[in-house]
Chain A
Amino acid sequence: MYKGFGSRLFDSINIAAMLLLVFVTFYPLYYIFVVSVSGGSAVMRGDVSFYPIDFNLNTYSLVFQDPSIWRAYLNTIVYTVVGTLINLFCTALCAYPLSKRDFYGRGFFTLMIVVTMFFSGGLIPSYLLVQKLGMMNTMWAIVIPGAISVWNMIVMRTFFQGIPNELYESAGMDGASELTSLIRITLPLSKPIMATMAMFYAVGHWNSFFSAMIYLNEKAKFPLQIILRNMVVMGEMSNQSQEISGAYAAVTATNIKYAVIIIAVLPILLVYPFIQKYFVKGVMVGSLKG
């Protein structure tokens, strides 16, 4: 097919712009990787930009020598898996009745739930609550308080509403209870949204550090993000403001920091492509029908 000059010009500008966008998005991640496999002094001189200099994997072997990293890795995986399962279970159970038009008091319950999106008790009351519930210093303090994200619940409810009511009616005719309807009809039809929610929640758990830091006391229970954050953020802080500490300004080398970052984000990066096909579909369908 013949393309005019204008069309080709547009295409090439378009492609160039998209490539630039891809580069801008991808480069920071790539840079972190390149620095993590470069020699320390090359990094300090600022020589590293596009390819590794003095390529070596010492940083990774150093990081993996630290047993607390492995421990934290395991903790993160446990918190993510358990947390995501709890999230999906609770969110689906909450979204299902709210998606039913004939659910008594639907508007009232929805309002009550939505209010929590905008108002929350804040840190101190939450802390006291977790403490009184006896969840302090356990995994439950991390996975239970955030069991339902209102936003995600509403997206899921909207998706459920898209399932034709006639399906439920005929199922009811055949003697299906609400629970059977949920398990046999709603959930099988909602795989995209479940996958999306799983992804949202899992990334959230993977990246979360605050609740773990506040509620956990023992180092052996810390997730990976706490250790990562301590290495990366604390290093920055000491350099700027902790002059008093003199010789104690952090010395964590940049390439080691970056190696930990790579190690921490890699699993999520690897999972992402497999869920992505559901991902786009799930979010789009939810939003369109809303």
Chain B
Amino acid sequence: MAKRKGFQLLAVSALLATLVSACSGGGSNGAAGESAGASSGAGNASTKPAAGGTAAAQQKVTVRWMRGENPSQAIKTDTPVLREIARQTGVTINLEPVPGSNYVDKKRALLATNNIPDIIGLESKEVAEFAGTGMFVPISDYLDRMPNLTKAIEENPEIKKLYVDGKLYSLPITEQFKIQGGKTLLIRTDILKELGLETPKTFDELYTVLAAMKKAYPDSYPWTARGMSFMDALSFGMGSGYGMTYDPDADNYFYGTNKPEFKEVLTYLNKLYSEKLLDPDFAVNTKQNWDEKLSTGKSFFYYDNNQFAVNYNATLQETDSNAKFDRIPYLRNAKGQTRGWLYPKGWLVDNYAISAKTKNPEALIGMFDWMYGPEGTTVTNYGVEGETYELVDGKPQIKADVLEKYKTAADPARVMMSEIGAGLLALAVRVDEGPTKQVTHPDLVRWGEELVADPGAVIVPGLAPGFTSEENESIKEITTKTSVLEQDVVKFIMGTKPLSQFDAWAGELTKAGADNLEKIYNEAYNRTK
């Protein structure tokens, strides 16, 4: 323990010493008092009045904050963002990143022994599971003091799915701006041009295009996939659904796999498969196999996460400067609909919970509300004004000299965000991907804008409705039966199970409880409406 205290003392004094402007009266120990005193004159002048009541009545608190660490953005424990949060809200955060690969185990141990730190990053289902034990501060009890969070909930009603027995126990990660991504159609436009093909607009046209590509390049498999990850987006695009799917028109959930529309999806894929237009290994490809096929010109089309294409283009263009994967608009299906698959709003699966044991929950509530508000959003995403960002036409932008510094890094955006301590993978609860937009590949930004503007743009829900524990039990029971049957989807596509058996198979799914599943989902969903 003594060791730990020593480290904290060191950390606190180091923190204060580096503050551009420290608030006065923060001297709880000698070393810190000195440095705070030295710069207190400048400090008071520049404290923003906008930081709500918290700045005036600031109480100094030090808290532990634990979260999983994504390897692509290392979490630093002494960053401009942390210093700025301490200055503006009085909350000094001791960040405790845990490697994401084992964060689940660590969370389990902490939750089961009731040893969670003041703030802990949890997934929504973990919050729901442990909320009943009373170990979290019920956030909804403080909503009258959290105008900014209230506004965020109004903006994105899906947050209501996070309520457990009428109360909100966690702080969801919301978005202010993000580079929209989605499962979409990416095709080698250079090959389209080379073969004089029109951009496909319907699924039948897509088939014609793929067939023409196969004819010109007999060794290729024009469409490749990495397992079944494309099925939800494709089925939805074709007017069906793969498993439990949200129908935006009817505003309810349905189980797509046993509906007649799904037969069309299977028929279509089976045709592609038998004519070798779909990669024969589509179901067993690893991400790496898949990457290889797309970046060596063995395949020309995929229906999945658009961001991968940037890497394929970079690799392809080393040998052929014309080669390019580009996004094409979502296709019109047989019903005349166009349905895209855009990644959900915010990151509602990821939440923060405040421990009921924390000494000063009000201070943390105040800090979080500030983080949901405009000043806090800017600080947690851009850092410190003048140091890491500047205002251009009233909008924050990362300063040019900061960008310059990370230009040579392997992954400039992530390294920069890691150093500043900003963004989703650090501790923003209202994410603004503006800084990423400044450094990332222009194609990604353009695709993001196109996706949002696409007539078929449908943002899929990020969360399943909040189920009760009995409902969870029945869902488990039903899905153990259905998931066995669902494995036949691959057999239908590969033709090892003839499509004539589809109706019988769909009947078995219904018998296994697919209708009940729909009912449970919709009842739970109606509760949150």
Contacts from A to B (Cβ < 8 Å): 41, 44-46, 62, 66, 68, 123-124, 127-128, 131, 134, 137-138, 209-210, 213-214, 217-220, 222, 226-227, 229-231, 233-240, 243-254, 256
Contacts and interface: CB of A to CB of B under 8 A. Distances in A.
Contacts of B462: 244
B69 A45 contact: no
A75 to B, nearest CB: 14
Interface stretch (B104-112, B196-204, B250-258): B104-112
B171 interface: no
Contact of B410 (A213, A235, A253): A253
A230 B69 contact: yes
- Does more than half of chain B's interface fall in helix, strand or loop, or is it mixed? mixed
B410 A244 contact: no
11 contacts: A44-B295, A45-B315, A128-B113, A234-B101, A245-B347, A246-B182, A248-B70, A249-B305, A250-B72, A251-B72, A251-B414
B369 to A, nearest CB: 25
A124 B112 contact: yes
B343 A244 contact: yes
A45 B344 contact: no
Contacts of A124: 109, 112-113
Contacts of B115: 127, 131
B334 interface: no
Contact of A234 (B4, B64, B70, B106): B70
Contacts of B3: 138
Contacts, number: 123
B55 interface: no
B41 interface: no
A229 B99 contact: yes
A209 B70 CA distance: 17
Given A46-B296, A213-B99, A244-B349, 15 more contacts: A44-B291, A124-B112, A210-B102, A213-B106, A218-B7, A230-B69, A234-B99, A244-B343, A244-B344, A246-B182, A247-B178, A247-B444, A248-B425, A252-B71, A254-B288
A209 B106 CA distance: 12
Contacts of A238: 70
Contacts of A131: 113, 115
Interface in B295-336: 295-296, 305, 307, 311, 314-315, 318
Contacts of B411: 251
A283 B69 CA distance: 41
Contacts of A249: 305, 307
B99 A226 contact: yes
Residue of B3, B66, B72, B314 with highest tally of chain A CB at under 10 A: B72
A247 B307 contact: yes
B227 to A, nearest CB: 8
A218 B96 contact: yes
Contacts of B318: 41
A240 B314 CA distance: 22
B287 interface: yes
Interface in B157-191: 178-179, 181-183
Given A219-B75, A235-B71, A246-B343, A209 B102 contact: yes
A230 B96 contact: no
Contacts of B74: 66, 68
Contacts of B243: none
